[in-house]
């Protein structure tokens, strides 16, 4: 049974879960939802397991047609529509979910009671187009229910207020010392933590470039080594790059820090122009 038809994918629409594990040593990034916090809550509102596949939408422009009367949840970025972010409602067949006006954040998540069926590649339903693992959704694509005989909860529901996020006002984001922290002198270390940063327009699921200040990278050569999601690399131009969910698994730039996993969801939702600060993790 089909749940949704994609009328328009907007600026980007893919199926994601919480990512694939155990393949980085083969050069395969984890992929998965850019904002796992919002993705989990979309599934919880629909009575699904946290790791069930969800629909991830970028910014605005997506339009979806409801093909099965079910509870649908929307979390993450606020982009308009009949279901406000951080809530769920039962929609009838023929209803539309239009995300025409992005107000804050970057990534919106849509879940359905019973979950979306999606092929698993290397143990995950997460789409990684750059690596040929699945493809982005197009107009006319349909998303099928994983459990058509399990209607799940109905009616309206909301995420608890303490779990909703206003992406226009990110908190201090904790960052751990990176493997090459000591390569930077004390002044550069302080500057890294005291500066105000914002995400560049030249950012995507591979990496977020940070603007607002430039660091002075050390004049040292280094061999490529493993890179974690959240690693803050400093190339020769001094503009830090944060490795994101589809980012490379190895890198040859010094890593001054690693964004704490709990803060990556916040960072992922920071639009260009939204300023944020880093703080030393403890």
- Give the number of other CB atoms < 10 A from CB of residue 25: 9
CA distance 261 to 271: 19
pLDDT in tens, the chain (282 residues): 999 999 999 999 999 999 999 999 899 999 999 999 999 999 999 999 999 999 999 999 999 999 999 999 999 999 988 999 999 999 999 999 999 999 999 999 999 999 999 999 999 999 999 999 999 999 999 999 999 888 788 899 999 999 999 999 999 999 999 999 999 999 999 999 999 999 999 999 999 999 988 998 888 888 889 999 999 999 999 999 999 999 999 999 999 999 999 999 999 999 999 999 999 998
CA distance 57 to 71: 18
Task: Say how far residue 75 (Cα) sits from the centre of its chain.
Answer: 12
- Model pLDDT, residue 213: 83
CA distance 257 to 229: 11
Domains of the chain, first to last: 2-163 (no CATH), 173-280 (2.40.100.10)
Cβ atoms 89, 71 nearer than 8 A: yes
Strand (E) or helix (H) holding 116: strand 116-117
Strand (E) or helix (H) holding 8: strand 2-9
- Model pLDDT, residue 173: 97
Record the pTM: 0.95
């Amino acid at each position: 049974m089909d749940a949704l038809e994609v009328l328009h994918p907007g600026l980007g629409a893919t199926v994601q879960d919480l990512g694939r594990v155990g393949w980085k040593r083969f050069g395969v990034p984890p992929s998965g939802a850019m904002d796992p916090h919002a993705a989990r809550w979309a599934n919880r509102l629909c009575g699904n397991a946290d790791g069930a596949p969800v629909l991830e939408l970028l910014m605005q422009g997506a339009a979806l047609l409801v093909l099965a009367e079910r509870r649908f949840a929307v979390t993450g970025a606020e982009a308009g529509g009949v279901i406000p972010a951080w809530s769920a409602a039962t929609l009838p067949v023929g209803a539309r979910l239009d995300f025409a006006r992005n107000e804050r954040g970057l990534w919106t998540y849509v879940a359905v009671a019973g979950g979306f069926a999606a092929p698993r590649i290397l143990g995950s339903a997460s789409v990684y187009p750059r690596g040929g693992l699945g493809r982005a959704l197009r107009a006319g694509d349909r998303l099928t229910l994983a459990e058509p005989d399990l209607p799940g909860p109905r009616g309206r529901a909301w995420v608890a207020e303490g779990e909703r996020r206003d992406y226009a006002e990110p908190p201090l984001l904790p960052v751990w010392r990176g493997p090459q922290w000591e390569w930077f002198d004390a002044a550069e270390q302080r500057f890294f933590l005291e500066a105000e940063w914002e995400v560049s327009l030249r950012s995507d699921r591979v990496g977020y470039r940070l603007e607002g200040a430039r660091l002075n990278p050390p004049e040292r050569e280094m061999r490529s080594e493993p890179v974690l999601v959240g690693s803050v690399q400093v190339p020769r131009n001094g503009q830090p790059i944060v490795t994101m969910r589809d980012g490379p698994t190895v890198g040859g730039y010094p890593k001054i820090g690693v964004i704490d996993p709990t803060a990556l969801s916040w960072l992922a939702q920071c639009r260009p122009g939204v300023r944020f600060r880093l703080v030393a993790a403890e």
